[in-house]
Structure 1
Amino acid sequence: MLESRNIRGRVLGLTLASLLVAGPAAASDWTVDMAQSSLSFVATQNGSPVEGRFENWTAEISLDPENVADARIRAVIDTATAGTGQPQIDQTLSSASWFDPSSHPQAVFESSQITALGGGRFEAAGELSIKGKAVPLTLPFTLEVENDTARAKAEVPLMRLVFGIGSDIPASTVGDEVAVKIDITAKR
């Protein structure tokens, strides 16, 4: 019985020691500075650009740029906060045929793999879910880290009709492609 306890104690000790040794190689957790970060979009309506942004969103980021094996990103966007500053467009964005926040209050991006491309460039492959429709997405981004502050920037085109956003408006009136721009400042 005593020998069994000693073996269990050694196994537990070795397990804890291996976790401590593995700790520094694990991805770094980052806290987004929301005051210095933005999630915006640019669409076209009748050939003219319409700029907007999401006011409320969160991101959980765990990433060590030198070792991306365990890196992960999860962003949750409050779809009711999409706005352009143009009341008629903003009212349309919150309608059932557009973001429909009463039935689908959140859009979610979750990475499954992050790849370092070199020169401060990365790709986060994962899935974006909007209005209950999940679509694979590869998000290219740049990353600069100085001390305990990171700055990431990304721009990716999304096709709104794939997600059923504004399906009542033809692409000739409101373009199908929407540029999503991400500018994040985060601290460890």
Structure 2
Amino acid sequence: MPHIDYFFATLSPFAYLAGTRLEEIAQRHGATVTYRPLDISALFARTGGTPLAERSEGRKAYRLQELRRQAQAAGLSINARPAYWPTNGAPSAFAIIAAQSAGGGDMGRLVHGLLAASWAEEKDIAEDAVIRDCLAAAGFDPDLADKGLMAGAIAYEDNLEEAVNRGVFGSPFYITDEDERFWGQDRLADLDAHLAARG
């Protein structure tokens, strides 16, 4: 059975633009997915990425156009300058880690729900109430927002270390059990084709 490690940041607009296509691809090919949320600022610092605030004006302008185009292509609404961004990504990441450990809900729906809350619904995903609502909407116990925080913090750091060690440098980033790497939501079709070729 194929497996995909999904490295992403809950602050990433491009992870939001992936929608639930990863889950659709995984289901189509009988693949399992491990969700590995991480600190994107720390990842950039470790892998040579440039934080948005430090990029040239031309790169910033291009990013805004690309977000608009990619959202249109994906059929998703987006506010490229959301009211509550950047925010603290750790609480939402800890909730994803806790939900994955607990099971019983829809992980794809949870992840997309949190990303959509930030990029389409003008909500602060560092707020407990927002996280609890997303957990409940995805079929998880909303109390997971406040459980396993120490374990979540450890896993969050471990995800960063594993990402760096495995060549991850952005979000979203998908790695198969064969170490085939795909960076960006615009490479999901390539991931799909790779899994199809595996049979």
TM-score norm. by structure 1 comes to: 0.24
Which protein has the bigger helix share?
Answer: 2
Which protein has the bigger strand share?
Answer: 1
Greater Cα radius of gyration, structure 1 or 2: 1
Which structure exhibits the higher relative contact order, with contacts defined as CA atoms closer than 8 Å and separated by 6 or more residues? 2
